[in-house]
Amino acid sequence: MNQENTDNSLLKIRNVVREYILPRQRLFSSVKRFRALDGVSLTVNFGESVGIVGESGCGKSTLARTVLALEAPQSGKISFKGEILHTLKAKKLRRMRSGLQMIFQDPYGSLDPRQSVENIVAEPLSLLGEMTFKKRSEMVAEALTNVGLSPNDTVKFPHEFSGGQRQRIAIARALITRPALIVADEPVSALDVSVQAQVLNLMMDLRDNYGLAYLFISHDLNIVRHMTTKVAVMYAGRIVEQGSTQTLFDHAQHPYTRALLEAVPSTDPSKKKRNIGKNYVSIMSGSNIENIYENGCVFASRCPVVEDKCKNFSPVLQNFQASTSARFDNNTQEIHHKVACYKPYDELVKT
C-alpha cells in the first residue's frame, strides 16, 4: 500500500536518510560514506510556507532533490498527498509530479537557450497527458500573464530577457500545472538585490492567489523571515531546531541557530548582539563540518556551551516547553517549537 492517511499535511518527511559513497583515497582502501541527510523529519501543510536554512553542505539541496523523488533515500519515507513517492512506479510518479514543481537557483542555467519561451513554459504540461495545441497555448499565455510577462513573449528566447525576467519564466514553468507544492532552492540568490524583492513579492502573491505551499530553501535569513511561516534549521544533515518563523527568530534556542542569527548584519545600531558570554559569530568562522563526534551532537565540536554529555550522546529533536516558544498560526493551531539541544538558551540563562 502506498496510500498514507493525511490530515492537513501535504508533504510528510519521516526519518529520511540519504548517503553517498565517497571516492576511494587508495585502490584497496575501504569504502566510506557521507551521510547528507541523517534522520530528517518535517511536515508541510497545504498552503504553508516552510523555510529550510543552514550553511553550505548541511543537506538543504539534497533534501530538495529527495523530496522531488530525483533521488531515493536509503531509509525513511517521503509522502506527498498520502502517496509514498519513492515506492511509486514510474508512470504514477510522473502523474504525481504535476503537483510538485521546483524553481531552481540559477535563472541562466535552468532555461534551455535553444528553446523558445513557449516550449520552456509548456514543458511540464506533458505530465498532464495529451492536449490540443490551442489549449496548450492558452495555458502558456495565462502562466506568463500571472508572473507579469506578456503572452507575446512566447516567441522569444531566454537570452532576450534579464535575470529577473528569466526567473519569472522559471516560475511560470513551475506554475503551469497548478501544483500544490513548489520547492524553491535559493530562487533569488543569483539576482540583483533590486530585483529580488520583485520576485519574492510575486511568489507571495501567487501563494495567496492559488493556495500554493512552498518548501523555501535559502541561506538568507532575512528572506526566510519574510517568506515563511515555519522554519527548520539544518546542520550536518540533521534538523537541530524548528518552529514558527516568529518564535524561532525571536526566541532561538539552539546555539547554532543563534550563531546564524548573530551573523546577519543589522542596520539598527540599537540592536545589541545576543550572546551568552561568548561571541556566537566566532563559531561560524569555518564553513567545513569537521571533527564531528561519532555518537554525540553534530554541533558539539563547534559549540560554545558544549558538555561531556554532548560529545557522547546525540540529543533528540523534541518539543521545547518554555512559555516564550508557543505561537499560533493563521488556523489557531499551535506550532510546536522543537530543539535538539541539552542546554537550550532559555534554560541556560536561568542557571
pLDDT digits (tens, 9 = 90+) for 234-269: 999 999 999 999 999 999 999 999 999 988 876 555
Calculate Rg over the CA atoms of the chain: 21
Task: Give pLDDT, residue 264.
Answer: 80
Angle, helices 163-175 vs 193-210, to 10°: value is 20
Query: What number is the average pLDDT over the span 142-155?
Result: 92
The answer to whether residue 74 sits within a structural domain is no
The boundaries of the domain holding residue 315 are: 233-351
The answer to whether residue 316 sits within a structural domain is yes
Task: Give pLDDT, residue 330.
Answer: 43
The answer to whether residue 139 sits within a structural domain is no
Rounded-to-integer distance, Cα 283 and Cα 132, Å: 58
Share the mean pLDDT of the chain: 84
Tell whether the model's pLDDT for residue 339 goes beyond 50: yes
Residue with cell 534556542: 253
Rounded-to-integer distance, Cα 310 and Cα 295, Å: 9
Task: Give pLDDT, residue 331.
Answer: 41
Tell whether the model's pLDDT for residue 214 goes beyond 50: yes
**Weakest-pLDDT range from 157-166, 178-187, 192-201:** 192-201
Query: What number is the average pLDDT over the span 266-279?
Result: 51
40 bridge partner residues: 16
Residue pair 33/52 in contact (Cβ under 8 Å)? The answer is: no
pLDDT digit string (tens) for 77-116? 999 999 999 999 988 898 888 899 999 888 788 899 999 9
The answer to whether residue 342 sits within a structural domain is yes
| Pairing, β 230-235 against β 238-244 | antiparallel
Total domains present in the chain: 1
The answer to whether residue 303 sits within a structural domain is yes
pLDDT digit string (tens) for 12-25? 999 999 999 888 77
pLDDT digit string (tens) for 167-196? 999 999 999 999 999 999 988 887 888 888
Task: Give pLDDT, residue 343.
Answer: 87
| Pairing, β 9-21 against β 75-80 | antiparallel
Residue pair 142/177 in contact (Cβ under 8 Å)? The answer is: no
Confidence of residue 332 (pLDDT cuts 50, 70, 90): very low
Tell whether the model's pLDDT for residue 309 goes beyond 50: yes
Cβ contacts of 93 within 8 Å, gap of 6 or more: 69, 85
Confidence of residue 44 (pLDDT cuts 50, 70, 90): very high
> Cα angle at 91 between 86 and 95, to 5 degrees?
85
Q: When comparing pLDDT for 290 and 16, which is higher?
A: 16
Rounded-to-integer distance, Cα 172 and Cα 111, Å: 12
- Count the helices and strands in the chain (H runs, E runs): 11, 14
The answer to whether residue 8 sits within a structural domain is no
**Weakest-pLDDT range from 73-77, 179-183, 296-300, 346-350:** 346-350
pLDDT digit string (tens) for 56-69? 889 999 999 999 99
Query: What number is the average pLDDT over the span 139-157?
Result: 93
The answer to whether residue 186 sits within a structural domain is no
The answer to whether residue 225 sits within a structural domain is no
